[in-house]
Amino acid sequence: MARITSAGAGRGARSVHVPKVAELVAADLRRRIVAGELADGDELPRESDLLDEFGVSRPSLREALRVLETEGLVQIRRGNVGGAIVRRPNATTAAYHLSLTLRANDVTHEDLGVARLSIEPICAALAAGLPERESIVEELTRLVDQSERCTTIAAFTESAHAFHQRLTELCGNTTMMLLAGTLESVWGAQESRAVAFDAHPDDVPERKRSIAAHRRLIGAIEAGNGDRASREMRKHLTEAQAGLMDERGSTVIELTTTPVARPKH
């Protein structure tokens, strides 16, 4: 990578980083994406148009796009329908990158579960304090009703995860929503993997206990009782995580699936 050294080069001279052309192009496109100038699902301009706009070589432009693809900010389509699709960051894409970091640091299921147990009750309490909690209650109730109609443990696990994910999204605090939502995505991936690869009996009584816990949580939010909502969430997570903790608590977590293409809404 190019560097220049300040005048008087020698022992102790200060080295200054000179960005590569590809880095500068990537930085400009990254800024547009995170600032909302380019919306999720938008197509980037054609390669020829980008080359004209930035006045760079084709290899430099393609290197810039590879950087953005690695960051999950664009999805490169190859072949006859080639091009780049904008992917704005969200909790799901952040979960993938977080799982890489957690896995590299040998984080266990128990460690991850403790973090989830510390953060999600805060989201429940925040939701209970919102003036628009009536609409939150209606949406969460619909999700629980859907869970109750699930006929397999895999479907129920996915539905229960959707409930928790949506609750974090509705807590009213963007920072907490993203932190908790990212952790929930990583945890949900661990649960789904366990259900898919391990022989788990479809424990109907356990599913019923989980649904009842979700309804008690909704009741606390509806009543505007943040302390009670926090307690209900903590109690529920402790019980719900027990099975996976017993089986895999001391084992290192698995990577989440690479973020896939999302439909444009």
DSSP 4-37: EE-SS-STTPPEEE---HHHHHHHHHHHHHHTTS
Co-location of 25 and 119 in the same domain = no
Q: What residue type is 178 in one-letter code?
A: L
Mean pLDDT within 208-233: 98
The reported pTM is 0.75
Structural domain containing residue 9: 3-86
Co-location of 238 and 131 in the same domain = yes
Rounded Cα distance, 194 and 25, in Å: 42
Co-location of 81 and 126 in the same domain = no
Q: What is the CATH number of the domain that holds 218?
A: 1.20.120.530
Q: Work out how many domains the chain is built from and give that number.
A: 2
**Which pLDDT does position 8 carry in this prediction?**
52
Residue 254 lies in a domain: no
Q: Which residue in this structure is represented by tokens 């099975």?
A: 243
For residues 101 and 191, is the Cβ–Cβ distance under 8 A? no
Residue 50 lies in a domain: yes
Contacts of 196 (CB under 8 A, 6+ apart): 154
Last residue of a domain, one of 37, 60, 86: 86
Co-location of 179 and 242 in the same domain = yes
Co-location of 82 and 97 in the same domain = no
For residues 254 and 194, is the Cβ–Cβ distance under 8 A? no
Answer whether residue 65 shows pLDDT above 50. yes
**Which pLDDT does position 90 carry in this prediction?**
81
End-to-end CA distance of the chain: 40
Plot region of 230 (φ>0 → left; ψ -120 to 50 → alpha; else → beta): alpha
Rounded Cα distance, 264 and 31, in Å: 20
- Find residue 77's DSSP bridge partners: 83
Co-location of 144 and 33 in the same domain = no
Co-location of 98 and 229 in the same domain = yes
Task: Say what percent of the chain tops pLDDT 90.
Answer: 70
- Which pLDDT tens digit goes with each residue over 174-198? 999 999 999 999 999 898 888 876 6
Residue 99 lies in a domain: yes
Mean pLDDT within 13-35: 85
For residues 99 and 189, is the Cβ–Cβ distance under 8 A? yes
Co-location of 132 and 186 in the same domain = yes
Answer whether residue 255 shows pLDDT above 80. yes
Rounded Cα distance, 203 and 196, in Å: 15
Residue 240 lies in a domain: yes
Q: What residue type is 212 in one-letter code?
A: A
Residue 166 lies in a domain: yes
Which is it for strands 83-86 and 74-77: parallel, antiparallel or unpaired?
A: antiparallel
Among 264, 95, 261, 111, residue whose Cα is nearest residue 192: 95
User: Over the chain, what is the mean pLDDT?
Assistant: 88
Range list of β-strands (E), the chain: 3-5, 15-17, 74-77, 83-86
Among 227, 180, 233, 187, residue whose Cα is nearest residue 210: 233
Question: What is the DSSP-derived secondary structure letter of residue 260?
Answer: P
Residue 57 lies in a domain: yes
Last residue of a domain, one of 43, 70, 86: 86
Co-location of 110 and 220 in the same domain = yes
Among 186, 174, 166, residue whose Cα is nearest residue 95: 186
Rounded Cα distance, 199 and 35, in Å: 46
CA angle 54, 60, 64 (to 5 degrees): 85
Answer whether residue 15 shows pLDDT above 80. no
Q: 238-254: string of b/e by CB count within 10 Å (b at 16+)?
A: eebbeebbeebeeeebb
Co-location of 62 and 157 in the same domain = no
Q: How far is CA 245 from its chain centroid? A: 22
Residue 258 lies in a domain: no
